[in-house]
Every structure is written in structure tokens, then in C-alpha cells.
């Protein structure tokens, strides 16, 4: 299992905006440059994040992108699911009827536990926490 490039870039976009502050706005070109994201790909990601209600976009001079809600209310899980859909480790967790071993599978409970642990961790980690951790780490290094 691997996080897609789209999800990784989406996390970088939200993190970049979180560093701007909850009221901060950034031009997409600046985000693309800072985060090393190709502009055409960034435009698609920002569009999906806007549809999910995570960012607001503004056109024209003084336009750009900003967080649609406080960084403390946006989690890693929100971003990943906005770009990739629900996270599941195995198809049987979402569509148990497709598994012929559903009733007696010795691994099913482990998949469920791992799924719960992963989504809980991602759902409990918000971008305010990530910004604070990054700033603390940078302060400690100086």
C-alpha cells in the first residue's frame, strides 16, 4: 500500500496553506514553486480539495487559495479521502459480499484492526498539529 502522488501533493498543499495561517491566502503558482508540484496537476488537486470543502479559491488579481476552515479542523484523513476516496486495506472491508471466505477468514479481523488504527491516526492528526510540530522541530535545530 502506498499513498498516491496526488494525495501526497494534496497534503503538501494543505500544509503549505496551514503555514500561511487560517486567514492566509496564497497564489497557486507560489504553492507550486514552494512544493515542487507541476501547475496542471496542482490545478486538479486544488479543484478536488475545493469540492471537498477544504479550500476556497479566488480568481483574478489578489486571488489564490486559502483554507476553507481552520487548520485544526482539517485532518490528514480528510485530505486523503478527498483525493482518493475511502481508505481500505482490502476490498473485503468495504464489500464483504465479494469475499468467499468472509465468514471464516482468519485474517479479516487483523485487516479490520489495521484499518481502524490507520484511519484513527489519520483522522486524529490535524494540520495545526503538523505546523506546530514542524515549527518546534525547526526551532530545535537552530
Domains of the chain, earliest start first:
5-141 (1.10.10.10)
How far is Cα 125 from Cα 123, in angstroms, rounded to an integer?
Answer: 6
Tens of each residue's pLDDT in the chain, 142 residues: 678 999 999 999 999 999 998 788 999 999 999 999 999 999 999 999 999 999 999 988 777 999 999 999 999 999 999 999 988 877 777 776 777 766 678 888 888 899 899 999 999 999 999 999 999 998 888 7
The Cα 7–Cα 46 span in angstroms is 11
Strands (E), the chain: 25-26, 55-58, 64-67
Grid cell for residue 70: 481552520
Amino acid at each position: 500500500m502506498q499513498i498516491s502522488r496526488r494525495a501526497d501533493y494534496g497534503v503538501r498543499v494543505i500544509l503549505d496553506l496551514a503555514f500561511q495561517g487560517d486567514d492566509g491566502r496564497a497564489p497557486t503558482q507560489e504553492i507550486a514553486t514552494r512544493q515542487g508540484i507541476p501547475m496542471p496537476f496542482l490545478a486538479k488537486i486544488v479543484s478536488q480539495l475545493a469540492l471537498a470543502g477544504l479550500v476556497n479559491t479566488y480568481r483574478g488579481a489578489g486571488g489564490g487559495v486559502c483554507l476553507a476552515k481552520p487548520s485544526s479542523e482539517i485532518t490528514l484523513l480528510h485530505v486523503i479521502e478527498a483525493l482518493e476516496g475511502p481508505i481500505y486495506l482490502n476490498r473485503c472491508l468495504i464489500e464483504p459480499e465479494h469475499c468467499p471466505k468472509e465468514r471464516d477468514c482468519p485474517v479479516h479481523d487483523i485487516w479490520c484492526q489495521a484499518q481502524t488504527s490507520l484511519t484513527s491516526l489519520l483522522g486524529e492528526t490535524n494540520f495545526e498539529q503538523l505546523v506546530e510540530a514542524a515549527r518546534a522541530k525547526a526551532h530545535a535545530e537552530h
